[in-house]
Amino acid sequence: SSEVLEAIENVILNVLTSLGKQKAPVLTVANRSDWRNIEFKDSVGLQMIPCCTIKKIRSDCSTSAPKFALMLKILSMIYKMVQSNTYATKRDIYYTDTLLFGSQSIVDNIINDISCMLKIPRRSLHILSTSKGSVAGNLSYTEEDGTKVNCTCSATVCIINSNNLISHAKFILIVEKDATFQRLLDDDFCNKLTPCIMITGRGVPDLNTRLLVRKLWDTFQIPIFTLMDADPHGIEIMCVYKYGSVSMSFEAHHLTVPSIKWLGLLPSDLKRLNICKDALIPFTKQDQKKLASIQKRPYVAHQPVLKRELEIMAASKMKAEIQVLTSLSSDYLSRVYLPNKLQFGGWI
Residue 307 host element (H or E):
helix 304-316
Q: Is 29 helix (H, G, I), strand (E, B) or coil?
A: strand
d(CA 37, CA 246): 9
Q: Where are the beta strands (DSSP E) in 75-223?
A: 88-89, 127-128, 134-137, 140-143, 148-150, 156-157, 162-166, 171-175, 196-200
Cβ neighbours of residue 301 closer than 8 Å, sequence gap 6 or more: 307
Instruction: Say which amino acid occupies 321.
Output: E
Residues noted as catalytic: 95
d(CA 170, CA 224): 9
Strand partners, 137: 197
d(CA 47, CA 38): 6
d(CA 99, CA 335): 53
